[in-house]
């Protein structure tokens, strides 16, 4: 039975809360949610339980289609999602050993992302929800990246559970965000990019330096990391013999909470005009790739330290950790540099929390998990809900502002 809801909302929910959806709120067994993701170039389906077990996590990549375009081609991506989504869904159900009747909800990435790409997971989820009567949950992609560490926290692997309030860095192909997270649904934007994202600039640099994506198993960012730091951070400090000085990059917005990557990248473009990559010696190319990567990460480190200092000066409550997620957060050099910088700047005890690399990049397990958190609070979308290519994270649950949430039953759910 649905519980406490203002009358107006209860009436508007009546049309899409089906008998199957009502059963969810009275069931004592763990809930099971199917998540679908197709906001960019990965077609994903995953099944997650309210006990935080990932029963299936299917990711079908499209890099073979996009590499020749030097980036994601929106129409080809949409078409590939249309071909792959049914495959991903049936594979996830098979791996989990479940039929659709066992699902308690269907979650999908509602946004932000590429509109046509989002329409594929939205359409598939709506059709499944309509056919089965299961609740539909349209999830904010960046909220899902930010909350992934709650899904992956484990005493076995020592992965800590974040505690609110914490800072969140979301570093992906579309975003460069520094947020203050106060609860699972309350995020304030402290800094965002004024031009392109860190992921987009990394991808373009990998393309301009002609680094094959295969080096990073299909990801240009991972390829740039492997190429620039084949032996890790420590081994990369000595310059090769007879190399010109490494390029230097001017950082934007000194002492302001704002990111910008266009300047760094155009400095690199200018360098490549005088030293075409096709004629560059491998060692020089590596030196340039390293210098760019370290400058890109330094900007992240600077802004985090600046935000921490600013919050302290303003007498704000201290944050209890820094969560870093999104595809770029899988970069091991960035992880190491951030820890070193926090230690040096006077925050050696601040927990620095990254999801495992495979769950930093796009996946549907994070979508299913946030769908579960929503389901447990009774925050369900109508079947008429539409995808949103632009969707600010501070509005991630704004549609439910008038709904009194149902108290989460599961002890594994973070406080709301």
Query: Which of 109, 176, 193, 219 contacts ligand KG4 by CB under 6 A?
Result: 219
132 binds ligand KG4 (CB under 6 A): no
Residues 156-175 that bind Zn ion (CB under 5 A): 172
Which member of 220, 321, 355, 371 binds ligand KG4 (CB under 6 A)?
220
Under the binding rule (CB under 6 A), the answer on residue 331 touching ligand KG4 is: yes
- Using the minimum distance from each CB to Zn ion, give the nearer residue, 104 or 362: 362
User: Residue 146 and residue 184: Cα distance in Å, rounded?
Assistant: 9
**40 binds ligand KG4, rule: CB under 6 A:** yes
User: If contact means CB under 5 to 8 A according to the sort of partner, which of ligand KG4, Zn ion, none does residue 219 touch?
Assistant: ligand KG4
Binding mask 281-300 for Zn ion (x = CB under 5 A): --------------------
Nearest-angstrom CA–CA distance, 408 and 414? 9
Q: Which is nearer to Zn ion, 58 or 103 (CB)?
A: 58
Residue in the block written with tokens 């994270």: 393
Nearer to ligand KG4, 203 or 397 (CB): 203
112 belongs to the binding site for ligand KG4 (CB under 6 A): no
Site for ligand KG4 contains 203 (CB under 6 A): yes
User: Which member of 225, 301, 381, 397 binds ligand KG4 (CB under 6 A)?
Assistant: 225
Question: 37 has which bridge partners?
Answer: 44
Long-range contacts of 336-343 (CB under 8 A, 24+ apart): 336/232, 336/233, 337/233, 337/294, 337/297, 337/298, 337/301, 338/297, 338/300, 338/301, 338/304, 341/301, 341/304, 341/305, 342/304, 342/305
Residue 222: name its binding partner from ligand KG4, Zn ion, none (Cβ under 5 to 8 Å by kind). ligand KG4
Total Cβ atoms within 10 A of residue 101: 8
Q: Which of 162, 199, 321, 378 binds ligand KG4 (CB under 6 A)?
A: 199
What distance in Å separates the CA atoms of residue 291 and residue 276, rounded to the nearest whole number? 17
d(C-alpha 328, C-alpha 325), whole Å: 7
Do the bridges between strand 186-191 and strand 176-183 make them parallel or antiparallel, or are there none, so unpaired?
A: antiparallel
Q: Which stretch binds ligand KG4 (CB under 6 A): 8-16, 46-54, 76-84, 169-177?
A: 169-177
- Listed in sequence order, the residues at least 6 apart from 149 whose beta carbon sits closer than 8 Å to its beta carbon are 159, 160, 161, 162, 323, 325, 353, 354, 355
Shortest distance, CB of residue 389 to Zn ion, whole angstroms? Answer: 14
Q: Decide if residue 362 touches Zn ion (CB under 5 A).
A: yes
Out of 111, 135, 173, 321, name the contact with ligand KG4 by CB under 6 A. Answer: 173
CA-based nearest residue to 164, from 372, 353, 369: 353
Locate 184 and state its tokens.
């699972």
List the single partner that 301 binds among Zn ion, ligand KG4, none, CB under 5 to 8 Å by kind. none
Closer residue to ligand KG4, CB minimum distance, 84 or 331? 331
How far apart are CB 63 and Zn ion at their closest, in Å? Answer: 15
Quote the distance between the C-alpha of residue 133 and its chain's center. Answer: 29
Question: Does the bond joining 88 to the residue before it have cis omega, within 30 degrees of 0?
Answer: no
> Among 280-288, 320-328, 341-349, 385-393, which window interacts with ligand KG4 (CB under 6 A)?
320-328
By CB under 6 A, tell whether 202 contacts ligand KG4.
yes
Q: Are 334 and 297 in contact (CB under 8 A)?
A: yes
Least distance from Zn ion to the Cβ atom of residue 60, Å: 15
172 part of the interface to ligand KG4, by CB under 6 A: yes
Least distance in angstroms from the C-beta of 198 to ligand KG4: 8
**According to CB under 6 A, which one of 104, 362, 381, 397 is a site residue for ligand KG4?**
362
Among the listed ranges 259-267, 271-279, 331-339, 356-364, the one in contact with Zn ion (CB under 5 A) is 356-364
Tell me which residues touch Zn ion (CB under 5 A): 172, 362
Residues lying near ligand KG4 in the complex (CB under 6 A) are found at: 40, 172-174, 199, 202-203, 219-222, 225, 326-328, 330-331, 361-362
């Amino acid at each position: 039975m649905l519980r406490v809801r203002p009358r107006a909302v209860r009436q508007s929910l009546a049309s899409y809360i089906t008998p199957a959806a009502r059963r969810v709120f009275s069931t004592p067994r763990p809930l099971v949610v199917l998540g679908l993701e197709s906001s960019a170039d990965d077609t994903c389906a995953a099944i997650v339980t309210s006990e935080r077990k990932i029963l299936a996590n299917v990711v079908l990549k499209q890099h073979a289609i996009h590499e020749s375009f030097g980036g994601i081609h929106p129409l080809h991506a949409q078409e590939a999602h249309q071909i792959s989504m049914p495959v991903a869904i049936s594979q996830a159900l098979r791996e989990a050993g479940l039929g659709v009747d066992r699902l308690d909800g269907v979650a999908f990435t509602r946004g932000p992302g590429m509109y046509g790409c989002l329409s594929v997971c939205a359409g598939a989820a709506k059709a499944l929800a309509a056919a089965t009567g299961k609740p539909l949950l349209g999830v904010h992609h960046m909220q899902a990246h930010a909350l992934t560490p709650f899904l992956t926290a484990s005493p076995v692997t020592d992965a800590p559970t974040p505690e609110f309030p914490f800072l969140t860095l979301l570093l992906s192909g579309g975003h460069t965000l520094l947020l203050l997270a106060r609860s699972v649904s309350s995020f304030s934007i402290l800094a965002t990019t004024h031009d392109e994202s860190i992921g987009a600039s990394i991808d373009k640099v990998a393309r301009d330096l002609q680094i094959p994506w295969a080096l990073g198993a299909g990801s240009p960012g991972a390829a740039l990391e492997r190429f620039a730091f084949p032996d890790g951070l420590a081994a990369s400090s000595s310059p090769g013999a007879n190399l010109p000085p490494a390029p230097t990059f001017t950082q934007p917005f000194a002492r302001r909470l704002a990111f910008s990557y266009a300047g760094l990248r155009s400095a690199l473009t200018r360098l490549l005009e005088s030293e075409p990559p096709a004629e560059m010696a491998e060692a020089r190319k590596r030196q340039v790739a390293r210098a760019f990567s370290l400058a890109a990460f330094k900007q992240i480190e600077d802004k985090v330290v600046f935000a921490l200092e600013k919050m302290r000066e303003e007498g704000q409550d201290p944050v209890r950790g820094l969560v870093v997620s999104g595809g770029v957060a899988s970069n091991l050099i960035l992880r190491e540099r951030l820890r070193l910088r926090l230690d040096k700047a006077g925050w050696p005890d601040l927990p620095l929390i990254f999801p495992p690399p495979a769950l930093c990049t796009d996946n549907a397990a994070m979508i299913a998990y946030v769908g579960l958190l929503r389901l447990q609070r009774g925050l369900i979308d109508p079947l008429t809900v539409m995808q949103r290519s632009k969707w600010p994270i501070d509005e991630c649950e704004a549609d439910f502002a008038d709904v009194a949430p149902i108290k989460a039953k599961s002890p594994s759910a973070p406080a709301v």
